[in-house]
Amino acid sequence: MNQTTLPQQSWNSWHDDAPIRLGISSCLLGAKVRFDGGHKRDRYLTDVLGEWFDWVAVCPELDIGLGVPRPTIRLVEGDENPRLVEPKSGEDLTERMEVYSHQKVDELMAKDLDGYILKRASPTCGMERVKVYTEAGMPLKSGAGVFARILLDKWPNLPVEEEGRLNDPMLRARFIEHVFCRHRWRMLVKRGLGRRSLIEFHTAHKLLLRAHNEAGYRRLGKIVASAGTIPDAEMFQAYEDEFHNVLKNRATRKRHANVLYHVLGYLKKALDPFEKQEAVALIEDYRNELVPLIVPITLLRHHIAKHNIGYMKGQLYLEPHPRELMLRNRV
């Protein structure tokens, strides 16, 4: 191996030509389906993520027969969940929207989505902090839109975010990383999931998982170690559920720094004192918010490639998604 070659194991080592497909609120792609006949095109989604993802556009209001333009609708407090109401006419659209949402989510589950991006503040698609009104018309509290609530309830392992929250670099990085991880899991299942392939998958994601949640990573290890003691199907499902739960945890600077030091430990015999000191300094600069994550990662990748550290070359933590997205340049 040439000493200047970068580690071979990266995000695309686990991917084939299968598209990474995400559900999305239609208005975010520029479709003029809003109540006022307008749209809410998000250029980051269309121009940047659109280079990597295929979109499955959904507009619940249009799908249940509401026109464009149309009267506004809102959430109103109810007995169990907020009701979806058109204030001008008083028409209650709750049952209509709930029946549609259950059917639509079932349809989408058959399409093998790897994530979903919802329109914030929408009474149908907002994930959280959607205004819920009293019967008198006063905003009382916040909740989730009807379609979003059913999507999240029926499909807990699907990475889901609102477009507004993706303006936060940490949330953006976590969501997109989760999307690529889910896609890799789906491709593994598609090719044929077995005990050996599960061990390989878990091994490749070890450091990435530790950056999100150490306890969850250890629980996953115990699930893998349970092979032969419980039915394989039960083990695989338990692993999938816990895998997605771990990835929902925020990967903090402290957790990343711990993982970076773990990586450095594999290099201790290969680096001279100056190189070790340089790496430690960059990890601490990252911990103290002086440099982004890409800085220590790039240095460690260089040393891993130069010294041909086999185990580390297999760790997807070092490149879990396309570098072109520059997610680690901002966190």
Q: Does a structural domain hold residue 206?
A: yes
Say if strands 115-118 and 160-162 run parallel, antiparallel, or are unpaired.
parallel
Average pLDDT over residues 192-210: 97
Predicted model pTM = 0.95
Q: Which of 56-65, 84-93, 108-117, 138-147 has the lowest mean pLDDT?
A: 138-147
Q: Does a structural domain hold residue 180?
A: no
Residue 141 DSSP label: E
Does residue 140 share a domain with residue 36?
yes
| Number of structural domains in the chain | 2
Question: In Å, what is the CA distance from 295 to each residue of 22, 107, 265?
Answer: 30, 43, 18
pLDDT digit string, tens, across residues 290-306: 999 999 999 999 999 99
What is the pLDDT, as a whole number, of residue 141? Answer: 81
What is the pLDDT, as a whole number, of residue 9? Answer: 60
- Alpha carbons within 13 A on the beta-carbon side of 286: 28
Does residue 255 share a domain with residue 136?
no
What is the span of the domain harbouring residue 273?
Answer: 194-331
- Residues with Cβ within 8 Å of 240's Cβ and at least 6 positions away in sequence, in order, are 157, 185
Does residue 326 share a domain with residue 203?
yes
What is the pLDDT, as a whole number, of residue 2? Answer: 39
Q: What angle do the packed helices 195-212 and 169-192 form, to 10 degrees? A: 170
pLDDT digit string, tens, across residues 235-267: 999 999 999 999 999 999 999 999 999 999 999
CA angle 165, 317, 167 (to 5 degrees): 15
Average pLDDT over residues 145-156: 98
Confidence of residue 7 (pLDDT cuts 50, 70, 90): very low
- Percentage of residues in the chain with pLDDT exceeding 90? 91
Say if strands 83-86 and 74-76 run parallel, antiparallel, or are unpaired.
antiparallel
